[in-house]
Amino acid sequence: MFPERFSNLPAYAFPRLRALLDVAEPGGEVLHMTIGEPKHAFPPWITEIISRNAAEFGLYPPNDGTPELQAAICGWVTRRYGVTLDPGSQVMALNGTREGLYNAMMALCPETKAGGKPVVLVPNPFYQVYMVAALSVGAEPVFVPATRETGYLPDFTALPADVLNRVAVAYLCSPSNPQGAVATSDYWQDLLALAEKYDFRVFADECYSEIYRDTPPEGALAVAARMQIDPERVVAFHSLSKRSNLPGLRSGFVAGGAESIRRIKQLRAYAGAPLPLPLQRVAEAVWADDAHVEENRRLYREKYDRADEIMQGVPGYRGPEAGFFLWLPVEDGEAAALRLWRETGVRVLPGAYLSRETSGGNPGQAYIRVAMVAPIDEMTRGLTSLRACLYT
């Protein structure tokens, strides 16, 4: 009566966290450092755009994004990566990138590969929609460790040929969630060369691309263009949630080869939920503006520096290259999160809730993820309490 393919899914990370922590009283003023929900101010002119276009809530929105939004997205891609995309055929607006990361799999993953069940490569730890998307199309998710030994990025090149021959899609998040590691140009080249050799697509989740310390992270589309590989090989996903502190806008985009985007658009026409028109008007303006992004980045750079100061001397501490999470080593993530809650009131996420158990163990078991999204004074209080509780 019910599908078996989802029968062994664990509870999602945040219900699991509530079950772990809410049985105990907090040991101090509650501070949430669990979810990656940006708290910096978004541009003040956004509400004016919504108000000015409020009547368009009475209209069905265009499925693919307004022409103005598609043009604004392509303009940003050119400014940021030096890549020229056709607005009408190579991009589509998303109602949040999670929709795109899921539906692109539905639209593009073949039913078989090399005569058998297709494989989807998933970094471990990972954004949980990758696994569910793979299961939804009847593919086999293969979890590839992204650990300190591999630079916190998965080493897909180390997989055996019998696995690689069946790969249909490989997900990669760069900058990575939760570790904040950045794929270099060489890393992307190696992955795309592997995709060419074994004929699979790369789904590049680049939602954290605009939050970094010094050097802008390389982009998959830019590397693919320089390599002159098949444009259908790469599908890239971006979001305004982190770039512009607008998680509630639910606005992102997917970009790739014209045939890939055509198929994604076709599925969206049947089963998707396009962004309401007034919110598309906001996205048009936000993708066209870079000043607020630089200010946002400045605030995160201050947080990187503060975190480095507070965590100096902690064994195994590594400040993130990009993104806004700390991936902190502990003996056991669940035990550490529960102790921290009971003694300080600070809530963090056990790393195992973002990972899957494999034959090599759970690569998130000995970590906690800490979101640096609160104002810097609150973040400072939380990290100071965390250090005193867990590392003294």
- Name the residue among 255, 251, 233 with its Cα closest to residue 242: 251
- What CATH number is given to the structural domain containing 255? 3.40.640.10
Strand pairing category for 91-94 and 252-256: antiparallel
On whether both 192 and 229 belong to a single domain, the answer is yes
- What CATH number is given to the structural domain containing 370? 3.90.1150.10
Contact assessment for residue 27 and residue 231, using Cβ atoms and an 8 Å cutoff: no
On whether both 329 and 207 belong to a single domain, the answer is no
The encoded tokens of residue 297 equal 């980045």
Token match 């200010």: residue?
295
Residue 15's CB is within 10 A of a number of other CB atoms, namely: 11
Domain boundary among 267, 289, 311: 289
pLDDT number for residue 359: 86
On whether both 212 and 334 belong to a single domain, the answer is no
Cα dihedral value 6, 9, 12, 16, nearest 10: 140
Q: 349: which strand partners? A: 369
Which residues touch 150 (CB under 8 Å, ≥6 apart)? none
pTM above 0.85, yes or no: yes
Q: 169: which strand partners? A: 120, 201
Contact assessment for residue 36 and residue 324, using Cβ atoms and an 8 Å cutoff: yes
On whether both 310 and 355 belong to a single domain, the answer is yes
Contact assessment for residue 95 and residue 277, using Cβ atoms and an 8 Å cutoff: no
How does pLDDT run along the chain (392 residues), one tens digit per residue? 788 888 888 889 999 999 999 999 999 999 999 998 999 999 999 999 999 999 999 999 999 999 999 999 999 999 999 999 999 999 999 999 999 999 999 999 999 999 999 999 999 999 999 999 999 999 999 999 999 999 999 999 999 999 999 999 999 999 999 999 999 999 999 999 999 999 999 999 999 999 999 999 999 999 999 999 999 999 999 999 999 999 999 999 999 999 999 999 999 999 888 999 999 999 999 999 999 999 999 999 999 999 999 999 999 999 999 999 999 999 999 999 999 999 999 999 999 999 999 988 999 999 999 999 999 999 999 999 999 999 98
- Cα–Cα distance, 72 to 158 (Å, whole number): 39
Cα dihedral value 302, 303, 307, 308, nearest 10: -30
Coil, helix or strand for 242? helix
Provide the domain count of the chain: 2
On whether both 132 and 255 belong to a single domain, the answer is yes
On whether both 245 and 99 belong to a single domain, the answer is yes
On whether both 129 and 249 belong to a single domain, the answer is yes
On whether both 87 and 152 belong to a single domain, the answer is yes
Question: At 253, phi and psi to the nearest 5?
Answer: -155, 160
Query: Number of C-alpha atoms within 13 angstroms, CB side, residue 146?
Result: 32
The encoded tokens of residue 251 equal 């606005």
The alpha carbon of residue 323 and the mean position of all alpha carbons in its chain are separated, in whole angstroms, by: 9
Domain, as residue range, for 324:
4-41+292-390
On whether both 24 and 71 belong to a single domain, the answer is no
On whether both 35 and 58 belong to a single domain, the answer is no
Domain boundary among 260, 289, 318: 289
- Cα–Cα distance, 10 to 65 (Å, whole number): 35
Question: At 199, phi and psi to the nearest 5?
Answer: 60, 65
On whether both 379 and 236 belong to a single domain, the answer is no
pLDDT number for residue 2: 81
- Cα–Cα distance, 67 to 358 (Å, whole number): 45
Contact assessment for residue 144 and residue 194, using Cβ atoms and an 8 Å cutoff: no
Q: Across the beta sheet with 201-205, what order do the strands follow?
A: 91-94, 252-256, 234-239, 201-205, 167-173, 119-124, 140-145
Query: Number of C-alpha atoms within 13 angstroms, CB side, residue 363?
Result: 23
Which residues touch 289 (CB under 8 Å, ≥6 apart)? 43
Strand pairing category for 167-173 and 140-145: unpaired
On whether both 212 and 68 belong to a single domain, the answer is yes
The encoded tokens of residue 8 equal 């062994």
Domain boundary among 242, 264, 289: 289
The encoded tokens of residue 30 equal 């509650």
pLDDT number for residue 197: 97
